[in-house]
Structure 1
Amino acid sequence: MSTVAEEPGRWSSTPTRLRLSLAVGLVAAAAVAALTSLLMARVQDQVRTIGESAAPRAAIASDLYFALSDLDAQVARLILIGNAETQAGNRIDALTTYGRRSRQIDADLERLLTTEGATARDREVVTGLLNDLAVYRQWTWQAMTIVWQTSDGPAHAPPPTALGYYSQATNVVHHDLLPGAQRLRDASQANLERAYAAQRTTGVWGIVAVSVLGGVLAVFLIVTQVWLTRLFRRRLNPALLASAVLTIGLVASAAAVFAVGTSRLTAVQRDSLGPYLALSKAQAISYDAAADTSRYLLSERLPSYRQDFTRKSDCLLGGGACGPDGDQLAGGLATLAGGPGVAPADAEQVASRWEGYVSTHERVLDLADSGRPVEAIDALTGISRGDAAFDFHYYDTAISRIAEDRRQSSDAAFVNVRGLLAGWTVVPVVLMGIVLVLVPLGVWPRLSEYR
């Protein structure tokens, strides 16, 4: 005898409704599994793109701009000190740094050509930079060859021919190399912003889509549970109850992963990667500004170099436009160096150390303007406190330490986000696979009572 309570007029439709409930539950569970897994795979791919392509390219482009700025600074230093016997140590240091920056530039250009995400426009710009770099090296080595072939003489009097060659070289840097590097840097950072925006969009859609579809499935399972309880006079259907619990658990945890992953990536951009790129830009500007001190002495006190230095220094301290090429800093050194994990005093220290270098720079220029070029060069290249080389190194140590901390924090954060997302293309399939088994187990016994 059937255990089902009779419902006049509905006997013929109940088996159909049971079969329909079974089909809807199976289709919805499969859809939740597929949608969640695909969205998680999409987010994982976007995180990989940001962490392994877009962010590294932005960092490489920033490093290239910095290395080019320092390369020309070292050339200016070499031309300025010439063959002076008293400057032998500085000459060796400048040559060593020149070689290191040159290798750094070559490596950066190669990586920009070969890393994932390089566009045809990027390759075109890199090819142009390689050609311009070859021209720059020709001019600089001609200038330095003339200097080194000159007998030992005062550091402040390089041969006019050498100065002419160096003038051509530094023009290539400021008219071709640095603008090209800036285009690469701006393009890579714009691409990074787009990658972040795409990930945030996927994260939001992931939360909405999984919550809606998974919520519909959970409600359907609960409603089916209530319907079967009333229809068949049973209190619980363990299989359907477990299916609802698993569905709710998946929806809640998946939505949390989408939200937390997006939040962490936003924090990386705001607190570590973004500040690192900004500090790298500030370092490049400061190196180029420091080179203006040497260029001022080499050019026999050309006012434009003093003005260039002042403009770049004001930009470093207060933010804004740093030069006629439109390069911008969003805030001064104290703002750029500040943030989570950095004591306010340490951030202020970066700005105060730059101000110390500015004071030394003014002293060097005052010595040159008063007709004491040898003393000016000694004050520029000396390694005692109060000399320009010492004060700049003192500043550079502070900003480099904070920038490196930001870079390491960024790398660690990307590893954490990838760890958070690990396995989430499989988890929805496994959980919904269990639901796909439980739903028939919950419905089929009731359906079998009609056979």
Structure 2
Amino acid sequence: MTVTVPPPPVRRKRSVSGRVRTLAGLSLVTLALLLAAILAGAASTGASLRTIGHDAGPQVLATAGLYRQMSEMDALVAETLLLGREYGPQQQADLTSYDQRRLEISESLLKAYRLALDDPVEQRTVESLIEGLGRYERLAAQARLLDTQSGHTAGQPPDNVVEAYQKATDLMHRELLPQAYNLTLETGTIVRRAHDAERSATSLASFAVVVTGLLALACLLGLQIYLTRRFRRILAPALVVATLLTAAGLLTGTTLLNLQGEALEEAKRRGFDSVLTLTRARAISMSMHGDESRYLLDRFRKDTYEHTFLDKSLTVAAVESTSLPDYQSKLHVDFEGLLGGLTGDDRNRLFAAYQKFQQADARMRTMPGEAAIKFWDGELTEAYEGYDKVLEELVRRHESDFERAIDSGDGALETLWRWIPAGLAAGALLVLAGVWPRLREYR
């Protein structure tokens, strides 16, 4: 007679404890993967936030103002030469403003050089600008010296003064201003690359968080179900809390990563891009106002400065036209160009100020020499300053949008780093606390 011997109970105990350990281990591994995915996404988005919001972004905006500062420098030189000895106090005020612009330019170039430490091309551009500005200042100083020696009254200065100024302004507009604009474009690529990299990284991180979070929940639920069936217990409280913490981590992590991505998109689109466009429009407008003084100053190049004024006007607010008078007569609110993206009240308000400036310019060009200078020094300059003030307000508003979006992203990042790791670490401890009593039964 054959006697059947049942398998030793120890094997069954080892089988059960092994499954518990395996499920618990998988739960811990997937929790670790979820945490890694969230932190990797946060690190990537955080790096982009630092680049756009605290490093390259503000420095690029600073270099964007370089074009306007340099344009104003040259316009101030032209203005001091155009005003005669009877405008002594105003000439002195212009020279004070000139020195202020020179200091601002030095600070902007220093920021640009710091930003370009890893880019030899940008470094050379900054160095070339520094050297070129030194040459410009020497030429401008020579023109001012000749003007002082001539002692002319308000109006066109002697030909030798104009010729000296022509050398300075040619250097500024043919060499230095294009370099300043290219510098802004070059440094702006850093922001664009960071933004593009962040978009890809955020999408990948969100996908990884969802996948690892669902896997962690599946493992925790599997462990809970196995313990319930095997040990005939309704629920393991520690595992229930761990599951809830994991679900909360998944939901919160995904939400915060999306908030960071949205904040960065808002900072780039409504903040950085808008400020950069408006700052460029403001810089070109400053150069347009300088062309008006150069038009009055240099009788040899009146047609040239009228043409460049038209070209810059078309860049700022484009309408179909064949000449400057034609442009000024056809200017309408449905313009395109740099400022064409404005909408609503901002567009209407800016158009009204810009149109007033263009109408004043048209009137100035119909006046004889001395009357044109007085009109330029009074009503025309007031019209320009009113238009520039609207532009400045728009720039400041979008700068506030930029800073607000960056602050929102930083807040989401801080919350993520502070609470998500703690919550998931607590969940891992609760997994161990939930399975430990069951494993002790098999010792």
Task: Compute the TM-score of the two structures, normalised by the length of structure 1.
Answer: 0.88
* 1:413 positional shift: 2.4
Q: Which amino acid aligns with 2:309?
A: F
Alignment of 1:116-127 (within 5 A): 119-127=119-127
Q: Is the 8 A contact 1:26 1:439 kept in 2?
A: yes
Equivalent of 1:435 in 421, 427, 435: 427
Distance 1:271 1:394 in 2: 24
* 1:319 positional shift: 8.1
- Post-superposition Cα deviations, 1:171-197, rounded to whole Å, max 9, x if no partner, equal 111111111101111112222111111
* 1:266 positional shift: 0.9
Distance 1:350 1:93 in 2: 28
Q: Is the 8 A contact 2:20 2:223 kept in 1?
A: no
- Post-superposition Cα deviations, 1:132-181, rounded to whole Å, max 9, x if no partner, equal 00010011000011101222x33223121111111111111111111110
Distance 1:37 1:333 in 2: 40
Indicate how the Cα distance of structure 1 residues 437 and 264 shifts in structure 2: closer, same or farther if over 3 A, else same.
same
* 1:432 positional shift: 2.0
Equivalent of 1:446 in 433, 438, 441: 438
Matched, 1:379 2:375: yes
* 1:8 positional shift: 13
Matched, 1:236 2:235: yes
Q: Is the 8 A contact 1:136 1:173 kept in 2?
A: yes
* 1:229 positional shift: 1.0
Distance 1:107 1:63 in 2: 11
Indicate how the Cα distance of structure 1 residues 416 and 121 shifts in structure 2: closer, same or farther if over 3 A, else same.
same
Alignment of 1:50-449 (within 5 A): 50-83=52-85, 85=86, 87-115=87-115, 119-151=119-151, 153-300=152-299, 302-318=302-318, 331-332=336-337, 335-338=340-343, 344-367=344-367, 372-382=368-378, 387-449=379-441
Q: Is the 8 A contact 1:279 1:336 kept in 2?
A: no
Q: Which amino acid aligns with 1:311?
A: D
* 1:9 positional shift: 9.4
Q: Secondary structure at the match of 2:32?
A: helix
* 1:44 positional shift: 1.8
Q: Which amino acid aligns with 1:27?
A: V
Q: Is the 8 A contact 2:78 2:290 kept in 1?
A: yes
Distance 1:31 1:448 in 2: 28
Distance 1:112 1:399 in 2: 24
Q: Is the 8 A contact 1:39 1:206 kept in 2?
A: yes
Distance 1:13 1:118 in 2: 59
Q: Which amino acid aligns with 2:419?
A: V
Gaps of 5+ in 2: 1-7, 321-334
* 1:438 positional shift: 1.2
Q: Is the 8 A contact 1:360 1:391 kept in 2?
A: yes
Q: Which amino acid aligns with 1:244?
A: T
Indicate how the Cα distance of structure 1 residues 360 and 81 shifts in structure 2: closer, same or farther if over 3 A, else same.
same
Distance 2:110 2:429 in 1: 54
Q: Which amino acid aligns with 1:41?
A: A
Q: Is the 8 A contact 1:272 1:410 kept in 2?
A: yes
* 1:299 positional shift: 2.3
Identity of aligned residues (%): 27
Gaps of 5+ in 1: 1-5, 321-329, 339-343
The structure richer in helix per residue is 2
Indicate how the Cα distance of structure 1 residues 18 and 345 shifts in structure 2: closer, same or farther if over 3 A, else same.
closer
Task: Compute the TM-score of the two structures, normalised by the length of structure 2.
Answer: 0.89
Distance 1:95 1:268 in 2: 37
Counterpart position of 1:48:
50
Distance 2:412 2:17 in 1: 44
